[in-house]
Amino acid sequence: MKLHVINTGNFKLDGGAMFGVVPKTIWQKLNPPDENNLCSWAMRCLLIEDGNKLILLDNGIGDKQDAKFFSHYYLHGSDSLIHSLNKAGFSEQDVTDMFLTHLHFDHCGGGVRYENSKLELTFKNAQYWSNADHWAWATKPNPREKASFLRDNILPMEASGHLNFIDLSSASPFASFDIHHTSGHTDKMMIPKIKYKDRVICFMADLLPSVGHLPLPYIMAYDTRPLLSMTEKEEFLNEAADRNYILFFEHDPVNECCTVMRTDKGVRVDKTFSLSEIL
């Protein structure tokens, strides 16, 4: 098995929204904001090369929305989804499976694009993977999350005939990783736990956006069930500390990975490092 980091670019989000009830005097030391209170965040995906499978975990924000939409998020950086795939030695035609942790626009927007003025799958040879509960949640969104679930990102997957639902009560359909699901951020978000050599690498999605979110009260205001998020995070971090998991961050602008340890103040960061250091 080989793993490839796929950087799809950076964007900006309000620091207060990203750190919830944590005061700005504290969180601004973790991710300094600009003059508009916006912090830079990564959209870092992961490509798993395993035998005849090439599995992409999430795909970033994409580029098909209009200028008004992108004016809210200040995309920046030189990375893009296709460029990063090419840099790893692959094209979009090579991807066999497109695994989506959840369907918020910054995680699934790159999976559909415009071709000849029509919405088409970016990965035409791939099967796209969600789960039935989250799909229902995303396609009939509550008012709070509606702006995060964009129809142009989601419905073409179903129309293409490439959409598959994972049964979360059964074993993972992928030999290379197990699936842990949580429902605090959004209903039935899926966290891949990748079996790499003698380690487990956890693709954290929005259960833990960055190293700065390790303390339990540091919960995003975007989470639909913040108290559940806190419980889910505590259980996961205790397991990660006890089993020496490697946590891979989708949104941390600086740190790709870390390990954690138990301390008197709860689970905290042990070491930070890039994924290439363990490959």
> 40-65, pLDDT tens digit by residue?
999 999 999 999 999 999 999 999 99
Query: What was the pLDDT predicted at 110?
Result: 98
What does the pLDDT look like over 223-243, one tens digit per residue? 999 999 999 999 999 999 999
Query: What was the pLDDT predicted at 164?
Result: 98
pLDDT-derived band at 84, boundaries 50, 70, 90: very high
Report, as an integer, the average pLDDT of 30-39. 98
Contacts of 209 (CB under 8 A, 6+ apart): 18, 41, 220, 249, 250, 251, 252
In total, the chain counts a number of residues equal to 279
Q: What percent of the chain has pLDDT over 70?
A: 100
Write down the mean pLDDT value for the chain.
98
pLDDT-derived band at 215, boundaries 50, 70, 90: very high
Query: What was the pLDDT predicted at 178?
Result: 98
Go through the domains of the chain in sequence order and give each one's CATH number: 2-199 (3.60.15.10)
Query: What was the pLDDT predicted at 165?
Result: 98
Query: What was the pLDDT predicted at 168?
Result: 97
In the numeric block, which tokens belong to residue 164?
A: 């598959």
Q: H helices within 80-128, ranges in order? A: 81-87, 105-108
Distance CA 111, CA 81 (A): 10
What DSSP line would sit under 165-213, residue for residue? E--TTS--S-TTEEEEEE-SSSTTEEEEEEEETTEEEEE-TTTS-SGGG
Distance CA 101, CA 185 (A): 11
Report, as an integer, the average pLDDT of 256-265. 98
Report, as an integer, the average pLDDT of 62-71. 96
Distance CA 224, CA 218 (A): 14
Query: What was the pLDDT predicted at 17?
Result: 98
- Displacement of CA 183 from its chain's centroid (Å): 14
**Residue located via tokens 């499978």:** 53
Query: What was the pLDDT predicted at 241?
Result: 98
